[in-house]
Amino acid sequence: MRIAGLSALAKKELSLYGQKFSLAALDDEEQALFEDNFNKLLSTTDSQVRRIFEERVDTIVAAVMAIKEKLNRRKFRGMNPGDAEIGFGFIRPGFTKTGGLTGTDTRKSWSVAFGAIGTWVAYLDGGAVTTPFPLHEDFGLIITHLVSQVSPNPFVREVHFQIGRVNLIPEDVSDILIGDNSNQVAVFPIPTKIVLPEDELLVTANGEVGTEQLKLGGLVVGLGRILKVEDLYALGWT
């Protein structure tokens, strides 16, 4: 995939869900690195996930530029950034938190337990279904889809995102059950969300009774010094 000519590259500002994001430009070298490394990332994942990323590349580029602006316009270096440079990769559980279900620190897994039908529970939170958590100052998230790792029947039915002061409408994701794609995998695209470093994030969910393994799909974009940490749970940022 080539990114030359994408509209995002010429923008200085992006509006999304009533939020305005200032964008830092990517120079020719950074654009080449993004294109090369983005294609390498795509080659490692499921074809349905690749399709989601490919269809949203313009918004993803803009989101990288927004996070770069927040991180003081440091150089973007793709999948091999220096400690003080910006890189990207797939979101791991440790880049999120939940205190409402499995502790008071960063996540170790994507597990979320639904105890009663129709009851909203904390999925990504700071301790309760009404309490957000702030992202670390060194990274942001680009959220594009959800993946249920429960087979054959996922439990999740709805999710509700709140990012900073923006309270989005709850989203019906029950068609994740259908696996309506070429590989019949439980991947469900959701409208792209951008969560900047230090933004507050709260995600609640509900579903059928059971323990879901609900992977947050998308990219983490941040400084190499935190992207390279193996045990983000031990990092225990506040």
Q: What is the pLDDT of residues 65-88, one digit of tens each?
A: 999 999 999 999 999 999 999 999
pLDDT at 184: 66
* Predicted pLDDT at 232: 78
What pLDDT was estimated at residue 25? 97
Task: With cut-offs at 50, 70 and 90, classify the pLDDT of residue 56.
Answer: very high
| Percent of the chain residues topping a pLDDT of 90 | 74
Position 238 scores a pLDDT of 58
pTM score = 0.94
The pLDDT score that the predictor gives to residue 27 is: 96
The stretch 7-15 carries a mean pLDDT of 95
Mean pLDDT of 7-18: 94
In the chain, list all ranges with CATH 2.60.120.
91-220
Residue 2 pLDDT class (50, 70, 90 cuts): confident
Confidence of residue 197 (pLDDT cuts 50, 70, 90): very high
**Percent of the chain with pLDDT strictly greater than 70:** 93
Q: Are 98 and 124 in contact (CB under 8 A)?
A: yes
* Top-confidence residue, 29 or 236: 29
Q: Give the confidence band of 45 by pLDDT, cuts at 50, 70, 90.
A: confident
Q: Which residue has the higher pLDDT, 51 or 66?
A: 66
**pLDDT at res. 181:** 53
Average pLDDT of every residue of the chain = 91
- Hey, what CATH topology would domain 91-220 get? Jelly Rolls (2.60.120)
User: What pLDDT digit, counting tens, does each position of 166-195 carry?
Assistant: 999 999 999 998 865 556 678 999 999 999
pLDDT tens digits for range 99-136: 866 555 788 899 999 999 999 999 999 888 899 999 99
Contacts of 223 (CB under 8 A, 6+ apart): 71, 74, 81, 83, 84, 85, 86, 87, 138, 139
